[in-house]
Structure 1
Amino acid sequence: MLTGTQHESPAEENVSDLTAGRNLSFDEFAAELGAIELRLRQLARAAETPATPVEVADAIDSLRSSASTVRELGQRMDLLARIVEGDVPLSTAFPTGDPWGVAARGTDRTDFGGPAIVPTMWQLIRLAQDGKRAAAGGRETTTYPKAMAGIGIGWESKAASARRRRERDAAVAVEVLRIACEKCSAGSGEQCRTAKGWASDRPHVGRQREAEATVDATLGYLGENPVAVPDA
C-alpha cells in the first residue's frame, strides 16, 4: 500500500501491455492473475535447487503462499467476469432490502457508505449468492448488465481517485517552491519561514492556495475534485 509521500515507479505506472489502449476486463484480469500464479509456483520450484547452496525454504513457502492468494483472487475475478457478462443471476436487492445499481439512484442508504450505485466486488459476490437462492426458489432476479444500464460514464474507482489525488498533491508541493511567498518573502526554491526565521515544511496559506490553483487549472480540477475523468 502506498502511503505518505510514496509514489508509483515509472514501471508500475506503465500498464499499456495490460490495457492495450482500453480498460482491463475482468476476464483479462483473471488470465493475468493465472499467469502470475503459475510464475510464482515455477519460481518456488526452481528455488528448490539454487545455483549456490543456500537453504531458502522460507522463501519457497512464501512464494507458494503468495501463489495461493493470487489463485483465490483470480477465481474471484473469473466469477466477476461471468457476473458482468450477465451469465450469473443476481439478487435485485441486498438482504437489508436496499437496491443497487440504477435502482439505487436517489435513495438514502445510511448503512455501508451510502447508496450502492456502483457495487463493490464483495457486494456483487453476495448478490450472486443470494441470486442463486432466489432463482432456485422461483423469485425475481436480475443481471449486472440490466441493473447497471446507463452507469459508468464519468466513473472511476476509489484507487484511481486516490492515485490522482496523490499526483495532484505532489504537483502542488513542487509548484509551491516555484513561486515566492508574499507572507514571509521566501523566494523560488525556498521553504516558508516563521516569524522568527525557522524554516517550515508547511507553506503559508496564500502561497499554498496559489500553487493549488495553478496545478488544478493544469490538471483539470475544481478545488480538490476532478472536473473530468479521461476515458471513463
Structure 2
Amino acid sequence: MTDDTYETLAETEADTAGLMAGKHITVDELATELSAIELRLRQLARAVEVPATPVELVDIIKSLRSNASSLRETGDQMGFLARIVAGDVPLVTTFPNGAPWGVAARGTDRPDYGGPAIVPTVWQLLKLASDATRPGFGETTTYPEAMDGIGIGWESKAASVRRRRERDAAVAVEVLRLPCATCDATDGQQCKTKTGWAADNAHVGRQRQAEALVDERLGYLGENPVLVPDA
C-alpha cells in the first residue's frame, strides 16, 4: 500500500461519529453495535450458502459463523458490563488479595497485575461482580460510586499506543523536511556518514528538532501527550 492509502484508511478508521449519540461511545452502544455486526455476519453466512455463481464457500461460511459466535460472546459480556457501569450490578470493594480499585486505589502501589487498579479492566469488573454474588464475601459497592470523579481526560492503553505510533510516524516525516547541521542533508535526504553512506537514523540534532516540532504541533511533552483529544 502507498502512504496515501494508509492515510485514507486512517482517516476512515477515525470516522467514528456514527457509532455514538454523544461525545464518547458508551458500553451500551458498543454492545449494540457488536450485536448488529454479529447478526450481519450470520446473514452473510446464510446468503452465501447459495451464491450467484457455483463456488463452494463452505470454509468461508464456517469462518463467518465462527467470527459471529465470538462476537456474540463479546457482545454478551459488553451487555453485562453496560449493566455494571450503569450501577445495576453490585461489586465487591476489593480484589481477592484485598487490593482496592477505583477512587480507593488512588495513591497506592500496584506491584502486580490484579493489585490496586484505579481504572479496572473488563475482566476485573466481571470478577468483582461474580465475587459479589458469593455469600459472605464482603462489602459491596457500585461502579458509579467506586469510580466517582475518575475518567476525565482518560484514554485506554490501546489509544495511547496508537497515538504514540502516530507521533513517531509524524517525526519520521518531519525529520526529512529539515536540513541537518551535522552532515548537510537537505529536504528529502537521509542523513549520511562521513564517508557518504545513507543512514536510516538521523543525526541527534536533526532528530531532536523534528521531535520538538511534532510534539509542539500534537500537544506532547517529551514522549507523553499533554492533553487527551476530545476528553
Fold match (TM-score > 0.5): yes
| One-letter amino acid of the counterpart of residue 168, structure 1 | R
| One-letter amino acid of the counterpart of residue 104, structure 2 | A
Asked if residue 144 in structure 1 is aligned to residue 135 in structure 2, the reply is no
Query: Separation in 2 of the partners of 1:83 and 1:75?
Result: 13
1:82-101 correspondence runs (5 A): 82-101=83-102
Normalization by structure 1: what TM-score?
Answer: 0.93
**Residue matched to 1:78:** 79
Alpha-carbon deviation of 1:51? 0.6
Local SS of the residue matching 1:200: coil
Query: Separation in 2 of the partners of 1:21 and 1:173?
Result: 35
**More deviation in 15-24 or 31-40?**
15-24
Give a deviation string over 1:81-127, Cα, whole Å, max 9, x none. 00000000101100011000001011122111763000011111111
Query: Separation in 2 of the partners of 1:128 and 1:96?
Result: 15
Query: Separation in 2 of the partners of 1:7 and 1:224?
Result: 26
| One-letter amino acid of the counterpart of residue 190, structure 1 | Q
| One-letter amino acid of the counterpart of residue 136, structure 2 | G
Asked if residue 15 in structure 1 is aligned to residue 26 in structure 2, the reply is no
Distance of aligned partners of 1:7 and 1:159 in 2 relative to their CA distance in 1, 3 Å threshold: farther
Query: Separation in 2 of the partners of 1:46 and 1:209?
Result: 56
Normalization by structure 2: what TM-score?
Answer: 0.93
Distance of aligned partners of 1:56 and 1:101 in 2 relative to their CA distance in 1, 3 Å threshold: same
Query: Separation in 2 of the partners of 1:166 and 1:20?
Result: 28
1:54-203 correspondence runs (5 A): 54-112=55-113, 115-133=116-134, 136-137=135-136, 139-203=138-202
Query: Separation in 1 of the partners of 2:17 and 2:220?
Result: 25
| One-letter amino acid of the counterpart of residue 141, structure 2 | T
Runs of 4+ in structure 1 deviating by more than 6 angstroms, as ranges, are none
**Residue matched to 1:210:** 209
Distance of aligned partners of 1:7 and 1:165 in 2 relative to their CA distance in 1, 3 Å threshold: farther
**Runs of 5+ unmatched residues, structure 2:** 1-5
The root-mean-square deviation of aligned C-alpha atoms, in Å, is: 1.7
Local SS of the residue matching 1:191: coil
Query: Separation in 2 of the partners of 1:93 and 1:114?
Result: 9
| % same residue | 68
**Runs of 5+ unmatched residues, structure 1:** none
Query: Separation in 2 of the partners of 1:35 and 1:96?
Result: 38
Query: Separation in 1 of the partners of 2:114 and 2:132?
Result: 22
1:22-41 correspondence runs (5 A): 22-41=23-42
Give a deviation string over 1:41-86, Cα, whole Å, max 9, x none. 0000011001110101000000000000000010111011000000
Distance of aligned partners of 1:16 and 1:95 in 2 relative to their CA distance in 1, 3 Å threshold: same
| One-letter amino acid of the counterpart of residue 81, structure 2 | L
Distance of aligned partners of 1:188 and 1:16 in 2 relative to their CA distance in 1, 3 Å threshold: same
